[in-house]
Structure 1
């Protein structure tokens, strides 16, 4: 199934209406989301957070008429079992609002947003305090556009490209950039950096890192228990970074017998071209339920890691 956005202007206006209404929602893990929605009294939405945050079915009188009309224009409203459902969610990080895919995310072109996004943005903000203002940046696999938008808002003179192979993600990221007031975020189709020209002062990414038997694009990171895509991003970034340019990468790695194969793989390249690079575990144990899945029989934990590497001048 392919997702589509019929009218980006209508979705933008819907986002503005939600912001004006003081809407706030923090998106949690899918497992926690299911638990909360499964509680008594949570089967149907009774307010905007239930509709746009918890992705619960609702009736027409739950949403103001003007919002419902905007949902219809945007193509983000469908009917299921006699109730209405939003096909997008809206999450907030601080004052910014981000549209992404509704729960549950089953489609191959789903735009995922969750706890990883919050950790990614928090680490990005800390690292941006220590780098020179970039002239050109790119967020590989931008998804909702959160990374590219944060860079654009922090460095308004920087062209902050949101790159993705997912057309639906690019549509939502463009709307999210407008909602953030970031006019310097072009959203462009690209497989890694293959379809983009020129060099970059800053490359950032929060890629998929799960070994997914279904190979859904928003989850599957390929071989090495899902780390292969992150390795490819490191390689692509170091080839296209300008001298003195920086790579900021948030990803998840499978730890086996205390060993981080992702770090072992990228270390020689970093040592050769990036003096003083830094690598840290932001969280030693994420998505623990994944350890029960096929392909993780030898994995003891999945760690969220952050790489900050600056190419030699």
Structure 2
């Protein structure tokens, strides 16, 4: 998702799409590729095909004002005898979120997909059941800012920090917060807790957790089993949570011979610490196509999981 693009023009485009009732649910990359490979889907027929399915489009498909705004934002490229958008707009929580177009293979990709929905849902479920006020929250590795924005909508008196190292993600998060009309989200560049000061009451995170042979930053979790960033998020939260503060960590893990290496590593870190915690599988079998690759040659399945950890008061 090459920078720069004009955030103000992109915001105008997002507002126009929102006013027009645009909605789109983003699927997994494998499903996206499968649907787009159908012969009838080679070219866009409407606005969802352009800004949702990332299909090539010709004259007359977009309203003139939408095309003008997308061009002014710098997110339309020539593609043969047509054009293609470099961004998608997706719906979550009745809000629109701008993120990278498909395919998501650039180093600075800003990803939104089913795991984003799951992570934000888990954060909101935790927030509903959580005792005590949230005065300060952080979304670590915020990407589009979906987690931060969802939390901020429910905690209007709190400062919510959206933290990421990817400049493209920070641009998207700023646009998305403005699209949602949220003014208590602070978008900052930083690696885990870099750029933060003081303590916080809630941390949410959906770090990369796959073993990615291409080493793409939005996808590769680091280490031999993809858990390095997830463990680093836990370490940061354990340092920064105040008494009663809690972490919601959405991650994933390859299960090998019935053993979950991520759970074992998290449990080791939490052993003896002043935290109550739960860990559960949200979906026991995702990304099955990855099992064909060398990185998961020993795994029997890949699960997505949620850790909830709260420092005792």
TM-score interval, normalised by the smaller of the two chains: over 0.9
Deviation of 1:4 (Å): 1.2
Deviation of 1:196 (Å): 2.1
Secondary structure in 2 aligned to 1:286? coil
Residue 248 of structure 1 corresponds to 248
In 2: Cα distance, 1:302 partner to 1:124 partner: 21
The answer as to whether partners of 1:274 and 1:309 remain within 8 angstroms in 2 is: no
1:184-220 deviations in Å (ceiling 9; x for gaps): 1111001111332221111110011111122110010
Tell me if 1:33 matches 2:13: no
In 2: Cα distance, 1:274 partner to 1:33 partner: 43
Secondary structure in 1 aligned to 2:60? helix
Residue 193 of structure 2 corresponds to 193
Q: Give the total of aligned pairs.
A: 312
Residue 88 of structure 2 corresponds to 89
Runs of 4+ with >2 A deviation: 268-276
Tell me if 1:213 matches 2:213: yes
Secondary structure in 1 aligned to 2:22? coil
Residue 51 of structure 2 corresponds to 52
Residue 165 of structure 1 corresponds to 165
1:227-273 deviations in Å (ceiling 9; x for gaps): 11101111111011111100001001111111111111111332423
In 2: Cα distance, 1:117 partner to 1:125 partner: 12
In 1: Cα distance, 2:100 partner to 2:203 partner: 25
In 1: Cα distance, 2:275 partner to 2:191 partner: 28
In 1: Cα distance, 2:247 partner to 2:277 partner: 9
The answer as to whether partners of 2:253 and 2:262 remain within 8 angstroms in 1 is: yes
Residue 124 of structure 1 corresponds to 123
In 2: Cα distance, 1:63 partner to 1:140 partner: 36
Q: What TM-score do you get using the length of structure 1 for normalisation?
A: 0.97
Residue 15 of structure 1 corresponds to 14
Which is further off, 34-43 or 139-148? 34-43
In 1: Cα distance, 2:125 partner to 2:246 partner: 14
In 2: Cα distance, 1:272 partner to 1:60 partner: 64
Residue 202 of structure 2 corresponds to 202
Q: What TM-score do you get using the length of structure 2 for normalisation?
A: 0.97
Residue 63 of structure 1 corresponds to 62
In 2: Cα distance, 1:294 partner to 1:6 partner: 37
In 2: Cα distance, 1:217 partner to 1:40 partner: 32
In 2: Cα distance, 1:274 partner to 1:299 partner: 33
Residue 108 of structure 1 corresponds to 107
The answer as to whether partners of 1:5 and 1:76 remain within 8 angstroms in 2 is: no
In 2: Cα distance, 1:18 partner to 1:217 partner: 29
Residue 308 of structure 1 corresponds to 308
